[in-house]
Amino acid sequence: MKQALIVLENVYLIFRRGWLLSREQVEAVAGVSLAIPEGGILALVGETGSGKTTLGKLVAGLYRPTQGRVLFQGQDLWAMDRRAFLQYRRAVQLVHQDAFAALNPVRTIYQSLKAPLLHHRIARNEREARERAAELLGQVGLTPPELFLDKYPHQLSGGQRQRVLLARALTVQPRLIVADEPVSMIDVSLRLSILQLLRELNRRMGIAILYITHDLATARYLAEEGQVAVMYLGKIVEHGIFRNVLGEPRHPYLQALLSAVPVPDPRIAQTIRPASLQGIDPPDPRRPPSGCRFHPRCPYAQRICMEIPPTLEGPADHQVACHFAQELPLWRPPSAASPSQWA
Ligand SMILES: Nc1ncnc2c1ncn2[C@@H]1O[C@H](COP(=O)(O)OP(=O)(O)O)[C@@H](O)[C@H]1O
Ligand code: SF4
Ligand SMILES: [Mg+2]
């Protein structure tokens, strides 16, 4: 087992809005424990609003947990001295989905890359900075670099801008890239090449990747050799080695995501209230359901599910948070046998 680069210990992030009577709070992340191994890939999958971006920002040190700890190489982020914290902020780079918004429109690509190179003294002067910037553009597949260095973001395509963002992340020689829906805003035909690039950065440079997505197909493409965590309303409901989890999903939510038929076994459907998951919107995160947060949508819910929140149980390579994980019928998604159906 590779050493953990980042560890989340029972992390909560609660957003609070308004005052007195209009005061409301959202538990965007509600007791998450996770580890990202050095050089590993973890896909974080879930619907919009499940807390993925918030979790990504907690990992990148942009949010301080309301409760719980985030550890970087064993050290609590929020108890580090300033120097160690700055080192950490360099080591973990966040890449947003909206590359256009993330790049300064009045700076050329070279200027955007030069700033961190000089600031962190990775380059000592303009000449070195330009050489290094060209090298980085080469590494992200923008070749020949001279064609791109003096362009402005609006002169590039969405896919090229996403590559520039990755080049900018690489300026500081990170150990982890948090890629938050990096391909959701670019043309479908270019998505695969960006994911391929992320995979290459992982393989060639040993950079760990936290890949955040609502899309299981791209998660599979990137993290098939790695791990996956499935998030639902602020909690991890299933987690482990990608092949184990997707090959034999145990949580009713993941089974439903993977199945066109919400209730895999008709015998169960007769004995337990059947529910079509597609028809019901995710509950309001300001008022999460009691007990298991998934219970209003779960075809197997029983009384205990409304009262007691299940915890993640099982061996590290496949954990599930469901009171009935061991009792529900084993079900294998038909697509597991034929990966082409995912693409
Ligand atoms: N800055 C914020 N202030 C208040 N609520 C927020 C903020 N950011 C996110 N949220 C809420 O937290 C929940 C999780 O959001 P987010 O992490 O963006 O989910 P995802 O990335 O999975 O779509 C949502 O209900 C969202 O409305
Ligand atoms: S704990 Fe209950 S409600 Fe939650 S997923 Fe399991 S069976 Fe469904
Ligand atoms: Mg998001």
Question: So what's the pLDDT on residue 280?
Answer: 61
Domain match, 298 and 241 both: yes
**Average pLDDT of the segment spanning 46-63:** 96
Domain match, 92 and 165 both: yes
Residue 251 Cβ < 6 Å to ligand 1: no
Domain match, 193 and 310 both: no
Q: Which atom of ligand 2 is nearest to the CA of 292?
A: 4
The overall average pLDDT reported for the chain is: 89
Residue 48 Cβ < 6 Å to ligand 1: yes
Lowest-confidence pick of 115-124, 191-200, 247-256, 262-271: 262-271
User: What's the CA gap between 134 and 146, in Å, rounded?
Assistant: 7
Domain match, 191 and 54 both: yes
User: Pick from 232, 265, 287: which residue ends a domain?
Assistant: 232
Domain match, 330 and 227 both: no
Closest residue CA from atom 8 of ligand 1: 54
Q: Which atom of ligand 2 is nearest to the CA of 300?
A: 7
Domain match, 96 and 107 both: yes
Domain match, 209 and 281 both: no
User: Pick from 232, 258, 278: which residue ends a domain?
Assistant: 232
Question: So what's the pLDDT on residue 335?
Answer: 53
User: What's the CA gap between 198 and 207, in Å, rounded?
Assistant: 9
Domain match, 228 and 132 both: yes
Please check the confidence at residue 273 and state whether its pLDDT lies above 80: no
Closest residue CA from atom 27 of ligand 1: 49
User: Pick from 203, 232, 261: which residue ends a domain?
Assistant: 232
**Average pLDDT of the segment spanning 160-186:** 94
Domain match, 32 and 147 both: yes
User: What's the CA gap between 94 and 214, in Å, rounded?
Assistant: 17
Closest residue CA from atom 12 of ligand 1: 28
Closest residue CA from atom 1 of ligand 1: 15
The identity of residue 1, as a single letter, is M
Residue 49 Cβ < 6 Å to ligand 1: yes
Do 191 and 167 form a contact (C-beta atoms < 8 A)?
Answer: no
Domain match, 241 and 228 both: no
144 preceded by a cis bond (ω within 30 of 0): yes
Domain match, 210 and 119 both: yes
Question: So what's the pLDDT on residue 1?
Answer: 59
Residue 230 Cβ < 6 Å to ligand 2: no
What's the pTM value of the predicted model, to 2 decimals?
0.91
Q: Which of 213, 209, 215, 122 is nearest to 166 (CA)?
A: 209
Domain match, 145 and 73 both: yes
Do 186 and 147 form a contact (C-beta atoms < 8 A)?
Answer: no
Closest residue CA from atom 10 of ligand 1: 28
Residue 305 Cβ < 6 Å to ligand 2: yes
Expressed as residue numbers, the domain containing 179 is 4-232
Q: What CATH number corresponds to the domain at position 95?
A: 3.40.50.300
Residue 288 Cβ < 6 Å to ligand 1: no
Q: How many domains does the chain have?
A: 2
